[in-house]
Amino acid sequence: MIRVSGFEVRSQSGKSLLSSTDLDLPAQAVLGVYGPNGSGKSSLLRGISGEASPVVRSGEIVIDGVPLNLLSSPADRIKRVLYLGSDFRSAFDLTVRDLFELGIESASGRFWPGLNPGERDRMAGVVERLQMVSLLPRVFQTLSDGEKQMVMFARALIQAPKVLVLDETFSKLDLDRLISVTRIIRDWINCGMTFLISSHDLNFLSEISDQLVFLKEGRIIAGGPVDSVLNESNLRELFTKVAPHVVTSPESGKRKILY
Amino acid sequence: MRNEIRKKYLIAAGVLAFAILMSLFLGLDFKNASLLIGELRFPRLLLGVAVGAALSLAGLVLQTVLSNPLAEPYTLGIASGAALGAAIGVSLKASAVIFGMNPGAIAGAALSIGLLLRVGGGGSGQESMILLGVMLSLVSASMLAIWMSLADPLGVQSINFWLLGDLSRVTTGPAAFLLVVVLLVGAAFLMFSRHLDAFLFGGEMVESFGVSLPRTRKITILLVSLLVGLSVSLAGMIGFVGLIVPHLVRRWLGLQRHFHLIPFSLIWGAAILVISDSLARAIGSPHELPVGAVTSLVGAPVFILLFLRGRRGQFS
């Protein structure tokens, strides 16, 4: 579904931000991306999503059989892959409803604003499923940081790309919301979506991911199924000053860290 | 909702009709009515409508694309760049002047926006962009004064035209031409209204709405330069219309989507400038006040109010 080969990112001054990287991810799966600050997570995720940024990229990224460089128009690209960061702001008083409508219109590629009845139903269905009806009339800028992240996540789901890239998008969520996000992502995977998620919460990534990659200083030091990657030896390679313990959750059977 | 919008279109059209009547008939000497209206007041009205609509549309689009509610052609120094370009073009007689309008003004406006984006567009804050614009404006105004003093024997008197604006120096042809251009540019922006909406969450989010950031910015720079350049070359610099009108429209409609903001900004911009011009003519009669002075007297306090609200994070 996603094949990354020989993908490299350099700053305009020539500094390497991400060394040659290869990845394969099947459809309807979650890839967790983990690493210390500045390890190249955003370079990798922005690169895979084709987001415009002032860096030099090389290598090949193929999504669903189509090379990303053939999707030069953002309108075509967002149907396949959509990138979300973590910090959302607006200088204007746009409501959550406006944002959702804008999301659907963007996915439709139409020139004129406005939703048709089918799109209106689809939006209502997603909003109800995510329990966000009460947020619809709220002005986006007045929401808490966690609410903003949830609303942006919902808007991305409404746009329904094949691959959704979430770069620390859940960094401000409380535990309740974080748990609901894991359920929502599982639901959407069943509907055919694929996710790439970076986070500094390794237990969250372990809970939600099918595969995990550890990045350090711009290169992948470990990658594969969560159980094979999440171990104390790899963590010691990532962080020299801490020695986390890896345990298995008796409830979910997933690996977790204690520190 | 649709009925409410329709009602507001009627109200806005009513205000514009009132402004037109005021411009044509306020203080009119009815003995020479047809001559005065045909030769003086009608071209002036037409120019007021075109320039007011142009500046409001330019302000609306700049505020959105730069994610800066304090942006407008005057505060960002784009109008003074256009005035400098126009003055140089006129003095050198090198530019092809079409209908009294000057390509030098369009180039001056485009250069100012380009410089603003180059120096201040890389993620700098709203306040620093405005500061940069004010500096740009001061430099352009100073260069304009120097140029006019050296290049034009009557330059010092002409400086007032460029810096404070004047709607009286035009004939029907150029004013009508400008109005047609403004309507065409308005129609173009209306077609791209969803693309402008994508900028409401800042430049970083634009592509996630399927909109090309560099292409939309380039088109916007081109069209805004056209609007501001042509307006300034015919009417000089008229400040704050581009700031007040978009805020008034956003607040009045309670909407942020551009599909409605664009036509309402055009109508209200036209009405407010025509009313300001009629007041500038009537208040000090038989002398005339510069229309730019009237708009600045109202606009500067609004700017300060918006600036303070923005610091508390409460724009619009």
The answer to whether A199 and A170 are in contact (CB under 8 A) is yes
Fold of domain A2-258: Rossmann fold (3.40.50)
Q: Strand, helix or coil at A205? A: helix
What is the spatial distance between Cα B299 and Cα B273, in angstroms, rounded to a whole number?
A: 12
The answer to whether A215 and A41 are in contact (CB under 8 A) is yes
Q: Strand, helix or coil at B270? A: helix
Phi, psi of A66 (to 5 degrees): -115, 125
Q: For A174-189, what is each residue's pLDDT tens digit?
A: 999 999 999 999 999 9
- pLDDT score at A13: 84
Q: For A95-122, what is each residue's pLDDT tens digit?
A: 999 999 999 998 887 777 889 999 999 8
Domain contains B141: yes
Residues of B within an 8 Å Cβ radius of A: 64, 67-69, 126, 191-194, 197-198, 200-202, 204-214, 250, 256-257, 259, 313, 315-316
Q: Do A75 and B256 touch (CB under 8 A)?
A: no
Q: Do B256 and A88 touch (CB under 8 A)?
A: no
Helices and strands in chain A: count of H runs, count of E runs: 9, 12
- pLDDT score at A102: 92
- Tokens coding A136: 């619809």
Comparing C-alpha atoms, which of B57, B3, B62, B65 is closest to residue B263?
A: B57
| pLDDT score of A236 more than 80 | yes
Q: Closest chain A residue to B255 measured between Cα atoms?
A: A94
Q: Do B191 and A107 touch (CB under 8 A)?
A: no
- Tokens coding A166: 């979430």
Provide the domain limits for residue B231.
49-311
* Chain A partners within 8 Å of B124 (Cβ): none
Token match 């439709």: residue? A108
* Chain B partners within 8 Å of A113 (Cβ): 193-194, 197, 257, 259
Domain contains B230: yes
* Residue in A45, A81, A87, A92 to test binding to B, most B beta-carbons within 10 Å: A92
The answer to whether A180 and A161 are in contact (CB under 8 A) is no
Q: For B155-184, what is each residue's pLDDT tens digit?
A: 566 777 778 888 988 889 999 999 999 999
Q: For B51-87, what is each residue's pLDDT tens digit?
A: 999 999 999 999 999 888 888 998 899 999 998 988 8
Domain contains B283: yes
Domain contains B168: yes
* Chain B partners within 8 Å of A107 (Cβ): 210
* Residue in A102, A145, A163 to test binding to B, most B beta-carbons within 10 Å: A102
Q: What is the CATH number of the domain that holds B168?
A: 1.10.3470.10
Q: Do A106 and B68 touch (CB under 8 A)?
A: no
How many other β-carbons are positioned within 10 Å of the β-carbon of residue B93? 7
Q: Do A88 and B201 touch (CB under 8 A)?
A: yes
Comparing C-alpha atoms, which of B81, B27, B28, B91 is closest to residue B58?
A: B81
Please give the interface size between A and B, counted as residue pairs whose CB atoms are below 8 Å apart: 84
**CA torsion sign, B106 to B110 to B111 to B116?**
positive
Domain contains B275: yes
* Residue in A42, A99, A106 to test binding to B, most B beta-carbons within 10 Å: A106
What is the spatial distance between Cα B69 and Cα B300, in angstroms, rounded to a whole number?
A: 14
Spans of all domains in chain A: 2-258
Domain contains B11: no
What is the spatial distance between Cα B261 and Cα B253, in angstroms, rounded to a whole number?
A: 8
The total number of structural domains in chain B stands at 1
What is the spatial distance between Cα B62 and Cα B51, in angstroms, rounded to a whole number?
A: 16
Q: How near does any CA of chain B get to the CA of A95, in Å? A: 9
The answer to whether A91 and B69 are in contact (CB under 8 A) is yes
Q: Average pLDDT for residues B139-158, to the nearest whole number?
A: 78
Domain contains B116: yes
Q: How near does any CA of chain B get to the CA of A100, in Å? A: 11
- pLDDT score at A225: 94
* One-letter identity of residue A104: I
User: CA B130 from chain center: how many Å?
Assistant: 16
